Chain A
Amino acid sequence: MAPLVSIENLTVAFDGVAVLHGIDLQVERGEALGLVGESGSGKSVTWLAALGLLPMATSVGGRVRLEGADILGAPPGKLDRIRGGRIAMIFQDPASALNPVLPVGKQIGESLVLHRGLSGASIRSEARHLLDLVGIPDPERRLSSYPHEFSGGQNQRIMIAMALAGNPDLLVADEPTTALDATIQSQILELIGRVRRETGMALVLISHDLGVVAENCDRVAVMYAGRIVEEAAADELFADPRHPYTLGLTGALPPIDGPRRRLTAIPGMVPNPKAMPPGCAFAPRCSSSDRRCEDKPPRLRAIGERRRIACVLETGALHPPLLEAAAE
């Protein structure tokens, strides 16, 4: 059976500057896929491009298929039924994604009319049911409240309610908890987890936070400078990171318990997309890089079951020097 969503060799360029260099990614039905990377790594652009949400002037290449049917460059009418109906997306800042001058009940109702074809009194009762589902107290009365009358966490709940209105098969959550406090973040993640258990919806969780992704995803893809550099099951990836960048990221994260260690700061910074190194984009910051890294970008290759890595270095030889650096 075809995967739910399959992205093949997706490329994106803004004004001739390439920011995505061929992304291959699959999302299976019901699974939770995490996409981690730092700002500018292309994790959001991947999904904005796949769903046709980038400005017209952007050049997008490659192929995106939903259950085998091409959706990249599909006519607007078809895309409108997919976005919100099959694949819903929520963003970091719920307050700016909601319409400030429309009561939330109306906004949820719009999705219900568009994607479920409801009308009349059933809209209101279904909107109330959705608000209840996402844990807004007193949903009947709150349907007529405006976004500013809710807290940030509640607005994100409302965004989730809107996303769920079309009964999507996939929810793409782009940094859904980054703007929220820690205790509210765990409420929202718990809510998304509960909805997934109840509906079997698949999830793509885009985040810069390794911990959030580790706790909420089955599989994780790590992105760097417009490419996937490593992909593995979540527990494997964090227990045994193979790519030097993934290893660097896990070493840069301060531990919450156990002995304190000096953080392995990855030196330097992410390359400018206008001046990408000809070889591996991470090579200039990589402590294990050698001449082999300088010619051409490494191919993302399979190194085990459902495990891929884009690094030419022998994985066995990769560990000792980096672990020493971590222990320093």
Chain B
Amino acid sequence: MTAPLVKVDAIVRSYRMRTGMFGRVADLRAVDGVSFDIRRGETLGLVGESGSGKSTTGRMVLGLEAPDSGSVAFEQAAMPAIGSAPWRSQRARMQMIFQDPLGALDRRWTIARQVREPLDIHAIGDDASRAVRVDELLHSVGLAHDQGLRYPHELSGGQRQRAVIARALATRPDFLVCDEPVSALDVSIQAQVINLLIDLQAELGLTMLFISHDLRVVRQISRRVAVMYLGRIVELGDADHLFAAPQHPYTRALVSASPAPGRRNAERIVLTGDPPNPAARPAGCAFHPRCSHAFARCRMESPKLVEIAPDRSVACHLLDAGTVPAAASEAAA
């Protein structure tokens, strides 16, 4: 097997925060030892709720933020220092798409000028070839030449997100990090953008890290999926298998919380307790206060992410104890 395009090894990122105006300074561990590989041409989905550290992970993988410890390697080379010349030129190889296209676009510039900007920055081609490339890019995301002459406020949300995608693709990147790219869009428009991303990926051989809180969207677009909870990956595996037979109690609750037409009030698992707060991370397994299966060991010892089957890793003590065999056999089937 070829080496992965992106290799993330035990990255950690903490922020300092103060509790109250004169409160004591505390470390907030947003990401706490996350490791994964993304193979060339593959899409890895990253799901989790707010505060799970998925966006921070995305920013570190892209080299927009340096990890406190651990490393990110792109094509087997370590990430260059932020702001250095090699780091700048590497920006052309990897790009990011955000949730809010209006915030990501400059309101005073036409769409075409913004799509062209990366070509100017990285000095790709001459004036004429850049103009041709801009039209090509707009066309590839389903925007007309005329729409390129408009300003962001003159386009709809879906069209703006297309413009952001066109700009991200301008430098022919190998790697794309998409952070909730369709969360702000209506269902029918969301489907257009998801189809577009899937088509572009197949056409251009893109490698993607796709971050979302929406399980359905992640499954649609990803081959493998990592589930994060309070800064750690709790489950990682093949997208179809993971959602069909989730192993970690948190993944199970998440899958069951994703409502589906035609599955009315089916055995929904409702978690008790508050959403995770990274500033007050529980001891032991971070999920144990909300887990109905938790036992003594969960309160003391944090479980490691262990491979339990080919292409499936889970961080849960229950699997050692052998108390969740039902779902495990489903996964094997």
Chain A residues in contact with chain B, CB under 8 A?
Answer: 38-39, 151-154, 181-187, 190, 208-212, 214-216, 234-235, 238-239, 248-257, 260, 262-267, 269-270
Residue pair A182, B187 in contact (C-beta under 8 Å): no
Q: Answer yes or no: B274 CB below 8 A from chain A CBs.
A: yes
Q: List 29 A-B contacts (CB under 8 A).
A: A38-B189, A151-B275, A183-B270, A190-B268, A208-B186, A209-B259, A211-B258, A211-B261, A214-B261, A214-B262, A214-B264, A215-B263, A215-B264, A215-B265, A216-B259, A238-B262, A239-B262, A254-B217, A254-B219, A255-B216, A255-B219, A256-B215, A256-B255, A257-B244, A263-B191, A266-B191, A267-B192, A269-B189, A270-B186
A residues in contact with B219, CB < 8 Å: 254-256, 260
Task: Report whether B262 and A266 are in contact in the complex, using a CB–CB cutoff of 8 Å.
Answer: no
Which residues of A have CB within 8 Å of B319? none
Is B259 touching A212 in the complex (CB atoms < 8 A)? Answer: yes
Given contacts A210-B187, A238-B262, A253-B187, contact A182 B220 (CB under 8 A): no
B5 at the interface (CB under 8 A from A): no
With A151-B274, A208-B187 known to touch, is A254 a contact of B261 (CB < 8 Å)?
no
A contact residues around B187 at 8 Å (CB): 38, 208, 210, 249, 252-253
List B residues 228-250 near A (Cβ within 8 Å): 240, 243-244
Q: In the assembled complex, how far is the CB of residue B58 from the closest CB belonging to chain A, in whole angstroms?
A: 18
Does B201 sit at the interface, judged by CB under 8 A?
no
The one of A39, A186, A238, A252 in contact with B191, judged by C-beta atoms closer than 8 angstroms, is: A252
Determine how close the nearest CB of chain A comes to the CB of B191; give it in whole angstroms. Answer: 4
Residues on B with beta carbons closer than 8 Å to the beta carbon of A211: 258-261
| Min CB gap A313→B, angstroms | 19
- Nearest A residue (CB) for B268: A186
Known interface pairs A211-B258, A214-B259; A263-B194 also in contact (CB < 8 Å): yes
Cβ A154 vs Cβ B274 within 8 A? yes
Q: CB within 8 A of A183: which of B156, B217, B240, B275?
A: B275
Known: A183-B253, A190-B270. 18 other contacts (CB 8 A): A38-B187, A151-B275, A153-B274, A183-B49, A185-B257, A186-B257, A187-B270, A209-B259, A214-B262, A239-B262, A249-B188, A254-B217, A256-B243, A256-B260, A260-B220, A262-B195, A265-B192, A265-B194
**CB of B97 within 8 Å of the partner chain:** no
Measured between beta carbons, the chain B residues less than 8 angstroms from A38 are: 186-189
B interface, how many residues as a size bin?
35 or more
Residues of A within 8 A of B271 (CB): 183, 186-187
Residues of B within 8 A of A184 (CB): 49, 275
Q: Is B99 close to A, CB under 8 A? A: no
What are the nearest 6 A-B pairs in CB distance? A211-B259, A238-B261, A252-B191, A181-B49, A254-B220, A38-B186
Give the docked Cα–Cα distance between A249 and B259 (Å): 15
Q: Does B258 lie within 8 Å of A182, measured CB to CB?
A: yes
Chain B residues lying within 8 Å of A238, measured Cβ to Cβ, are 261-262
Residues of B within 8 A of A (CB): 49-50, 156, 158, 186-192, 194-195, 198, 213, 215-217, 219-220, 240, 243-244, 253-265, 268-272, 274-275, 290
- A266 CA to B158 CA, complexed, in Å: 12
Per the bound structure, the CA–CA distance linking A252 and B188 in Å amounts to 6
**Residue of B186, B269, B272, B274 most packed against chain A (CB within 10 A):** B186
A72 → chain B closest CB, angstroms: 29
CB of B258 within 8 A of CB of A265, answer no
CB distance from A193 to the nearest CB of B (A): 8
A318 to chain B, nearest CB (A): 18
B48 → chain A closest CB, angstroms: 9
In the bound complex, residues from chain B placing their C-beta under 8 Å from that of A262 are 195, 198
Interface centre among A183, A187, A248 (most CB of B within 10 A): A183
- Check A269 against B158 for contact (C-beta < 8 Å): yes
Chain B residues, Cβ within 8 Å of A235 = 262, 264
How far, in whole Å, are A214 and B262 apart by their CA atoms in the complex? 7
Q: Which residues of the partner chain A approach B198 to less than 8 Å between Cβ atoms?
A: 262
Q: Chain A residues with Cβ under 8 A from B189's Cβ?
A: 38, 265, 269
CA distance A255 to B186 in the complex (A): 16
Whole-angstrom distance from the CB of B296 to the nearest CB of chain A? 23
Contact between chains at B186 and A263 (CB < 8 Å): no
Interfacial chain B residues near A267, Cβ < 8 Å: 192
Q: How far is the CA of A238 from the CA of B264 in the complex (A)?
A: 11
A215 to B190, CA, bound (A): 21
Set A181, A216, A254, A269: member contacting B50, Cβ < 8 A? A181
Give every chain B residue within 8 A of A260 (Cβ-Cβ): 219-220, 240
Residues of the A chain whose Cβ atoms lie less than 8 Å from the Cβ of B255: 256
Contact present for A257 and B243 (CB under 8 Å): yes
Nearest chain-A residue to B48 (Cβ)?
A: A181
Q: What's the Cα separation between A257 and B256 when bound, in Å?
A: 11
Chain B residues with Cβ below 8 Å from A181 are 49-50, 213, 275
Smallest beta-carbon distance A35→chain B, Å: 15
Q: How far is the CA of A187 from the CA of B275 in the complex (A)?
A: 11
How far, in whole Å, are A288 and B263 apart by their CA atoms in the complex? Answer: 29
